[in-house]
Structure 1
């Protein structure tokens, strides 16, 4: 039985605290993973795991072995990647997860370029906004908006999401057009709230180079960007939304920019992946492609093309 296979099986069981989940992530039968860990313990002549009917935990010897095993596996993968990178294209299954609006409007429309460049990658994309356990769900990396909250993940900045204040022409005709940020207190506002934290995101405008939260008459809060855009189109109120989500509606005249002379807030776009894993060639390739895409994407630029008065 290959030593590195047994080492990989053991580290995955430790990380997921489950033989079943480890087997699923390695695409192996559970009996195979169990046999590999038993063989490893037999060869080392130490007990690496505490096993009960409810949970699996690592022993003191197992924890020490895990730390060294992870380093060795990472070094092995890095060495193999360096040797093969010059002569082979990235290949294999790559599973990523991206926010639904960003995937629908920016990433997926550009995917033909990625698939042509890297024909040996089998790409699986989840479009979701929920928190994801990358190890447990077998996800290689995720693209997320905002500042990372999970310290167990490595974050690489791949872009910036700019925001605009918008409203429908019908709403502005009925309630008037605000000309100063203080005017927003007299208008109906539709806000975003996070399903993860429950926190409502206030409107943000820049003043003297600093972002400031603006008081508003909060009419409605919604936890989905597409639904907020729908609320704006329905004339419910003023919304602060990502530029890329409303550019088409601005061009068509279905929405209009509000307070266009005031710079609006922004949030970072990050690629996240587990910190205890070596960054594989295929993951690095996707992250670099996404960063290039975001840098060139007109929908993500801070000064979008507008066909209406702001």
Structure 2
């Protein structure tokens, strides 16, 4: 293994905190990965990693070498990508919220692979906070306001959101004609995954943001269950327009209160701030921004 490949392996071991996981990522036997790191340490004359039975951590020298390796590998990728006609290639590991994955990203992926045939994507779905570096993830696609996580976030689009209900619900409770009418209604509750608290409905009324908490006989934490319960007529809900465009077209959901819409929500691509964008992540980010613009989000 040449020096650049050894650097790539070393950075992966540091990020994954594991020889086994790093070796799997790169496609090496664990024994080969261990031998490469031993040879690297002997050549440098320093110990780069502290090994225990449970985890692998960089030494102080290892941390310094890791930062230099990142810069060198980025320079190499940039230099290779500077030639005309060169396309990004290799594995891109992404984390996506399930709603965005199923309703936006996956339907558009054939176009991405047509444009970037040498990029491979390994996608995981989750609404949880992800430690991108230590879990070996290159970037995460999220919608909604973001907590301060120490990650870099590129805003790709702003999603329009809709207040809606099923025809069966409106038949029972009536259709609200104004914000004040909502006092007589109920919602499908959406609970925050971390705290369990119910999210209030949010409206822009006469240019001002107003939150409204209503009775929620049924509540969920997942977006797919949220929309399913709304279709069943269990209450009023708010969700991104792209998520329910087909329901609105079929009439299985009805848009409400267009003069008092929910505030729009941003879609962001997040990546670790201590790492420069690789050509793969940069291409994926630019492609996503273009697709969201086409969708008129």
Q: TM exceeds 0.5?
A: yes
* 2:237 paired residue number: 239
CA–CA separation in structure 1 for the residues paired with 2:252 and 2:213: 26
1:188 is aligned to 2:157: no
Matches within 5 A, 1:42-191: 42-82=42-82, 84=83, 86-149=84-147, 151-191=149-189
| 1:269 CA displacement | 0.5
Matches within 5 A, 1:186-265: 186-265=184-263
- Given that 1:181 and 1:214 are in contact with CA atoms closer than 8 Å, whether structure 2 keeps it comes out as no
- Given that 1:21 and 1:136 are in contact with CA atoms closer than 8 Å, whether structure 2 keeps it comes out as no
CA–CA separation in structure 1 for the residues paired with 2:135 and 2:38: 25
CA–CA separation in structure 2 for the residues paired with 1:296 and 1:252: 23
* 1:268 paired residue number: 266
- Given that 2:190 and 2:221 are in contact with CA atoms closer than 8 Å, whether structure 1 keeps it comes out as yes
| 1:278 CA displacement | 3.0
Q: Deviations over 1:261-284 (max 9, x none)?
A: 112122210112233333222222
- Given that 2:77 and 2:279 are in contact with CA atoms closer than 8 Å, whether structure 1 keeps it comes out as no
Quick one: structure 1 residues 152 and 70, their matched pair in 2 at CA, closer, same or farther if it must change by over 3 Å? farther
* 5+ residue gaps, structure 2: none
- Given that 2:97 and 2:142 are in contact with CA atoms closer than 8 Å, whether structure 1 keeps it comes out as yes
Taking structure 1 as the reference length, the TM-score comes to 0.86
| 1:208 CA displacement | 4.5
Quick one: structure 1 residues 78 and 278, their matched pair in 2 at CA, closer, same or farther if it must change by over 3 Å? farther
CA–CA separation in structure 1 for the residues paired with 2:135 and 2:60: 27
- Given that 1:187 and 1:216 are in contact with CA atoms closer than 8 Å, whether structure 2 keeps it comes out as yes
CA–CA separation in structure 1 for the residues paired with 2:209 and 2:267: 17
SS in 1 for 2:160: strand
- Given that 2:74 and 2:278 are in contact with CA atoms closer than 8 Å, whether structure 1 keeps it comes out as no
SS in 1 for 2:177: coil
Matches within 5 A, 1:30-45: 30-45=30-45
CA–CA separation in structure 1 for the residues paired with 2:151 and 2:28: 25
CA–CA separation in structure 2 for the residues paired with 1:50 and 1:128: 31
Please tell me the root mean square deviation across aligned C-alpha atoms, in Å.
2.3
1:282 is aligned to 2:280: yes
Quick one: structure 1 residues 61 and 103, their matched pair in 2 at CA, closer, same or farther if it must change by over 3 Å? closer
Q: Deviations over 1:37-77 (max 9, x none)?
A: 21122122222222232333322222222222322222222
Taking structure 2 as the reference length, the TM-score comes to 0.89
* 1:308 paired residue number: none
SS in 1 for 2:193: coil
* 1:303 paired residue number: none
Quick one: structure 1 residues 79 and 15, their matched pair in 2 at CA, closer, same or farther if it must change by over 3 Å? same
SS in 1 for 2:216: strand
